[in-house]
Structure 1
């Protein structure tokens, strides 16, 4: 799990990169929750998603948005963080240029940034959005959503009410050519306390199905 430093639009960005053994392995980018509410690339869910992809042979990067950890710059309310994510994806593609596919996973604020990024990058073929903050941020840019993906949230989430996530899912499901899968975890709050293992299991099983891996590999 080598530490990496690469250039972003606001200066240096700190990350952790797991290289792939195969030259054509897919790549994945994992985005953390809100920087002003303690979000970092070392959040347990971000860490577990990172290893979920690595275990399946991906070249995977997680990183700190501007102003977090050793990443330079300061919080920019999403616009700058989207630029950071684009720079991170550029960096992975430079290191791993023959990747056959690209995935994005994001947690909360990171899910919002990730879904904006997939609108701009046609090479993104799948996404995993954990607790997307549909009540706090505008998701109307997903018109249409270009990729199939998974949305997971907890039914006791007090930060993002289930009805707002449901509205987002219902809107995305009306679009032709993509499939949005939704999973709700009973008893889970916004941070999936005591439910992280269940969350990662759901995400891993979804990824296996998309990749065509038998589920006993999960």
Structure 2
């Protein structure tokens, strides 16, 4: 963790939720809450894609919050088929949100599904969503705002690009497709970071 990182425990519906809050080098322009991939397949808040999202957003001035879903790491509870995990995200958002600052929600894979679901229930709404290889093949991600940043590798063998295109097509939602990249962006994390930095610095 960087020097500005702070570990926190948030009260969640299934018990304690373990979080890491990290500050940018400048005064925060907003708060970004980031959701990790599937807990039953090794997903944690320390996943490299989630950490890359956090680094990118801090670079452009956002305070970032990563957390472990119920039953992962130091978070209490157990897997709840995605329902309770959305509730976990909402509890974290409520605990760390700053009324004076905009909110970004983001996630990778299953975490993208959770972020999209949570975005429907937060009030006031999030300023923007960023989803990396959202789990469109296995979960009903639903519609998202038209300024959502979606990044997907065309060699993804976990969530096929075709599934995400089929989800995006009725929404006329643009997708940033990265050629030759698989689900976990192995060897291409700097490229992912640069895509997010460019999108949020604009």
TM-score computed with the length of structure 1 as normaliser: 0.85
SS of aligned partner of 1:49:
helix
1:128 to 113, 116, 130: 130
Q: Distance in 1 between matches of 2:152 and 2:188?
A: 11
Count of aligned pairs? 196
Q: Distance in 2 between matches of 1:3 and 1:111?
A: 23
Q: Distance in 1 between matches of 2:174 and 2:32?
A: 19
Q: Which consecutive residues of structure 1, in runs of 5 or more, have no partner in the other structure?
A: 174-179, 210-218
Deviations 1:11-35 (A, max 9, x none): 0010100246647x31111110000
Moved over 6 A (4+): none
Q: Distance in 1 between matches of 2:16 and 2:44?
A: 15
Matched ranges for 1:63-212 at <5 A: 63-93=67-97, 96-99=98-101, 101-121=102-122, 122-140=124-142, 142=143, 145-146=144-145, 148-173=147-172, 180-209=173-202
CA contact (8 A) 2:156 2:181 kept: yes
Deviation, structure 1 residue 147: 5.5
Deviations 1:64-108 (A, max 9, x none): 000000000001110000000000100112xx3321x11111000
Q: Which consecutive residues of structure 2, in runs of 5 or more, have no partner in the other structure?
A: none
What residue in structure 1 maps to residue 19 of structure 2?
15
Structure with larger RCO (C-alpha < 8 A, sep 6+): 2
Matched ranges for 1:30-41 at <5 A: 30-41=34-45
Tell whether 2:66 aligns with 1:62: yes
CA contact (8 A) 1:40 1:69 kept: yes
Q: Distance in 2 between matches of 1:43 and 1:53?
A: 16
Q: Distance in 2 between matches of 1:146 and 1:188?
A: 25
Q: Distance in 1 between matches of 2:35 and 2:160?
A: 21
Q: Give the direction of change, closer, same or farther, for the CA distance of 1:41–1:161 in structure 2 (3 Å limit).
A: same
TM-score computed with the length of structure 2 as normaliser: 0.91
Q: Give the direction of change, closer, same or farther, for the CA distance of 1:202–1:153 in structure 2 (3 Å limit).
A: same
CA contact (8 A) 1:66 1:72 kept: yes
Q: Distance in 1 between matches of 2:106 and 2:156?
A: 19
